[in-house]
């Protein structure tokens, strides 16, 4: 019964990985016959300042984006975990951006924030303050924060939904018993809600780490990696190298990116496993 799944895994996952490993050791440009060059592509990557900048941008994005998504997602889930008129409508409004293509979402926000042509600039110009408008997307220090905010706006609904499902699985009698014993709301959250949300936290943290380190669509549509290379992510760097006639080099960077994503995921799983064991003790 598992043969079809195994065949699909081998065809679309294992073989491409092996193929990429082979390509990473060549100077293939995507057209001519590849020549074996050993580890030269990997050495080139670590000597390339632009590549190191792309790694720094991706890591910076993940360090801010993952906590922000989880804090906002959990806050929304707790606030909406009660019955009131219109609660389902509010949940839908928060979740709807997650079903929109990140590329489309990026272009929408670009048209809102764009200097000289954006919607907000038009408002400033209408009130006679056009020269005071700050070009957020053109400022190297601000552009990455804008991408982080837009990413949180789009995907907080997905994070919220996973936490909301976890909250639904917590027995209410635990809260009732703790309330009888005099537990405060904070104590209930610390000793009941947070530990019981362990599986939801694992899912959200892992998926957010992977998505954040592999950010591509929003960067392409919002800033194109600019100004300069200030917001270029490792995924966008790989894309540009691949279509720039350096497919072998792009394959080697893809493997490095795989490790870059795998390491924090494994660390997170390890830490969360220890945390669960500690709570159970």
Residue 199 is assigned to a structural domain of this protein: yes
Residue 244 is assigned to a structural domain of this protein: yes
Phi/psi for 109 (5° steps) reads -70, -30
By residue range, what is the domain housing residue 145?
39-280
Give how far the C-alpha of residue 4 lies from the chain's centroid of Cα atoms, to the nearest Å.
31
In which residue are the tokens 């990473």 written? 24
The predicted pLDDT at position 50 comes to 93
What's the predicted TM-score (pTM) here?
0.88
> pLDDT tens, 180-226?
888 888 888 888 888 888 888 888 999 999 999 989 999 999 999 98
The predicted pLDDT at position 59 comes to 93
> pLDDT tens, 72-116?
999 999 988 877 788 888 888 999 999 999 999 999 999 898 888
| Average predicted confidence (pLDDT) for the chain | 88
Distance between CA 58 and CA 55 in Å, rounded? 5
Write the CB contacts of 187 (distance below 8 Å, at least 6 apart in sequence): 178
Residue 7 is assigned to a structural domain of this protein: no
33 or 150: which carries more pLDDT confidence?
Answer: 150
- Give DSSP secondary structure letters for 126-190: HTT-GGG---GGG-HHHHHHHHHHHHHHHHHHHHHHHHHHHHHTS-HHHHHHHHHTT--HHHHII
- Residue range 53-73: mean pLDDT, rounded: 94
- Could you tell me what percent of the chain has a pLDDT over 90? 47
Residue 102 is assigned to a structural domain of this protein: yes
Residue 1 is assigned to a structural domain of this protein: no
The predicted pLDDT at position 280 comes to 55
Give how far the C-alpha of residue 213 lies from the chain's centroid of Cα atoms, to the nearest Å.
6
Residue 153 is assigned to a structural domain of this protein: yes
Return the axis-axis angle of helices 49-79 and 234-242, rounded to nearest 10°: 130
- Residue range 245-274: mean pLDDT, rounded: 87
**pLDDT(11) > 90:** yes
**pLDDT(254) > 70:** yes
Q: How many domains is the chain built from? A: 1
Distance between CA 184 and CA 189 in Å, rounded? 9
The predicted pLDDT at position 43 comes to 93
Distance between CA 204 and CA 28 in Å, rounded? 38
Q: Quickly state the pLDDT bin for 160 (edges 50, 70, 90).
A: very high
Domain CATH for 251: 1.10.3720.10
135 or 274: which carries more pLDDT confidence?
Answer: 135
The predicted pLDDT at position 174 comes to 85
Residue 149 is assigned to a structural domain of this protein: yes
**pLDDT(70) > 90:** yes
In 3D space, the residue among 261, 70, 54, 53 whose CA is nearest the CA of residue 163 turns out to be 70
Residue 8 is assigned to a structural domain of this protein: no
Distance between CA 27 and CA 81 in Å, rounded? 55
Q: How far is CA 38 from CA 43, 70, 71, 243, in A?
A: 10, 41, 44, 22
Distance between CA 244 and CA 26 in Å, rounded? 15
The predicted pLDDT at position 199 comes to 84
Lowest mean pLDDT among 126-135, 162-171, 206-215: 126-135
């Amino acid at each position: 019964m598992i043969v079809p799944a195994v065949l699909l895994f081998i065809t679309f996952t294992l073989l491409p990985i092996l193929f990429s490993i082979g390509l990473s050791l060549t100077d293939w440009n995507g057209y001519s016959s590849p020549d074996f060059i050993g580890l030269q592509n990997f050495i080139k990557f670590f000597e390339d300042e632009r590549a190191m900048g792309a790694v720094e941008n991706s890591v910076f994005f993940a360090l801010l984006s993952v906590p922000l998504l989880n804090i906002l997602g959990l806050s929304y889930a707790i606030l909406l975990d009660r019955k009131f008129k219109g609660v389902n409508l509010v949940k839908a409004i928060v979740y709807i951006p997650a079903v929109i293509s990140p590329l489309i979402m990026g272009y929408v926000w670009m048209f809102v924030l764009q200097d000289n042509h954006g919607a907000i600039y038009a408002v400033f110009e209408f009130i006679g303050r056009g020269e005071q408008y700050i070009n957020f997307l053109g400022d190297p220090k601000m552009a990455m924060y804008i991408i982080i905010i837009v990413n949180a706006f789009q995907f907080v609904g997905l994070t919220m939904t996973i936490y909301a499902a976890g909250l639904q699985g917590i027995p209410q009698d635990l809260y009732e018993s703790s309330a009888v014993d005099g537990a405060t709301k904070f104590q209930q959250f610390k000793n009941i809600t947070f530990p019981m949300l362990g599986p939801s936290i694992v899912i959200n943290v892992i998926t957010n780490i992977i998505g954040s380190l592999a950010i591509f669509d929003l960067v392409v549509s919002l800033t194109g990696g600019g100004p300069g290379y200030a917001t270029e992510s490792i995924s966008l760097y790989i894309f540009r190298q691949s279509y720039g006639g350096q497919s072998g080099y792009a394959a080697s960077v893809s493997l490095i990116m795989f490790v870059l994503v795998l390491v924090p995921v494994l660390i997170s799983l390890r830490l969360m496993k220890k945390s669960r064991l500690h709570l159970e003790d």
